[in-house]
Amino acid sequence: MVKQCLRNILGNQFVIESANHKRAQLTQSEDYIFIDQDTGLLGVFDSVGGRDKGQLVSRLAGRTIAASWKNLATTNHQKSLAQIEIHLRAVLQQADTVIAALHLPSGEKRPATTATVGVLSLQNDEVYMTIANVGDSRAYLLRSGKIQRLTEDNGYFPWAIRRGILTKEESWRIEQVARDGDLSLQDMTHFRRRNKITCAVGWADFPPIQPYSLALTPGDRIVICTDGLHDNLTDEEIAEVLQGPPEHSAQRLISAAYHRSQQPHIRAKEDDISAIVAWYMFSQAYKI
């Protein structure tokens, strides 16, 4: 586990933790996490299942984005939100270009990775988190005990909603199932497709990236995670784990998801599991 404090956002202090669990069948995790204390850039990456060079590609995407961000926005807390959003699109597209350009032997599958990247910045004395994603890695906000999903998956359920196959309510009920026996046979057909994604970094075919900026208040917790976490835990279960003390929040999330993955449970899925938790401790205005 990595634990760091960002103290460079003009008196606004964060505790930022990360944790990762590697599934037993692998020698190395195919997920990749980075936390850049200097620029406030955070990211998680998950190599697309069933494709070659998985671990390499998630790491390559993360390092490409981190390096590109330093070149574009070394002092990103002085940039406007519009500039940050433009830069986030640019670095994700740069990573996509780098991966898509990899030379592969004939017949080898095109490698790819999901990506969810966040940036902490200061705007007129307010702290913001700007999030952008490709694939099904996610970002959440826990505020005043309530959890909110900040990203939309590029995956099966949004695809099914857009095509009228499922309503939003049906999709939510199926995707957030918490007990065996709560889904019909037809529901289970949809549930088993929850891991299908419609785009990834490296496929060079993802739709326009739509970054999302959110003003933070002291006490907020941001979670950025791979699907190994949210496949095993429902959103409400993630919120319950985060209700505890902020210290070791990331490790508690990973432990809960891993425990679920080993149980005979409808949501159980063995996978790499990765999470970053950023806890906004206080702002300069709240100092005593």
The structure's pTM equals 0.92
In this predicted structure, the answer to whether residue 13 has a pLDDT above a threshold of 90 is no
Longest pairwise C-alpha distance within the chain:
64
Strands (DSSP E) found in the chain:
2-9, 12-21, 31-36, 41-47, 113-123, 126-134, 138-143, 146-149, 212-215, 221-225, 273-282
For residue range 175-199, what is the model confidence (pLDDT) as tens digits?
999 998 999 999 999 999 999 999 9
Same domain, 75 and 14: yes
Residue indicated by tokens 């490698």: 111
The band of 245, judged by pLDDT with boundaries at 50, 70 and 90, is confident
Of 169, 164, 203, 242, the C-alpha closest to 51 is: 203
- If one compares 134 and 28, the residue with the highest pLDDT of the two is 134
Q: What range defines the domain where residue 79 resides?
A: 2-151+204-286
Q: Where among 142, 175, 196 does a domain terminate?
A: 196
Same domain, 108 and 229: yes
Number of structural domains found in the chain: 2
Same domain, 76 and 191: no
Same domain, 43 and 136: yes
